[in-house]
Amino acid sequence: MINLSSTTRSEEDVTSRVDMRMHRQMRLHEPEAPRLWAVIDEGVLHRPYGDRETMRGQIEHLIEMNRRPNITVQIATFDIGGHPAAGGPFSILRFPTPQLPDVVYLEQLSSALYFDKYEDTHRYAQTMDHLATQAPTPDRTEEILRPFLERYSD
């Protein structure tokens, strides 16, 4: 997906971005791994990024990650209709230290935005809460992903 960006100018830039994302992903496997709760719009499952093998690997990865104790994956299916996060993806970063405020992270085309004021973070937290309650429960994630896995099988 990084290669699809017209803002990526060099192989070094692509490598740097991939390395950063891989490092973040590895943190989820450490003994003191952070908790991750992701709600993924079904639309992204219909839009292939890469060949069949790549797509199958991505879906297998989602299933595997959803089985981890520190990770929850939900799919916001088309059945729920419009949802409160339809405006675009966002991340809420919460820290174990009460003195650190929540931070909302919005990745942009060539930059990122961070919000740490309560009024902003609270609005995004409410949106996430609504989305998580509208989407099918995490125990249904694998059932929802199976047909996509079959679609990309040989």
In this prediction the pTM is: 0.82
Which pLDDT band, with edges at 50, 70 and 90, does 84 fall under? Answer: confident
Kindly report the number of other CB atoms within 10 A of residue 97's CB atom: 5
Dist CA 58 CA 62 (whole Å): 6
Residue 135: is its pLDDT beyond 70? yes
Summary count for the chain: helices (H), strands (E): 5, 5
Q: Which residue would you say has higher pLDDT here, 64 or 16? A: 64
List the domain boundaries for the chain.
Answer: 2-151
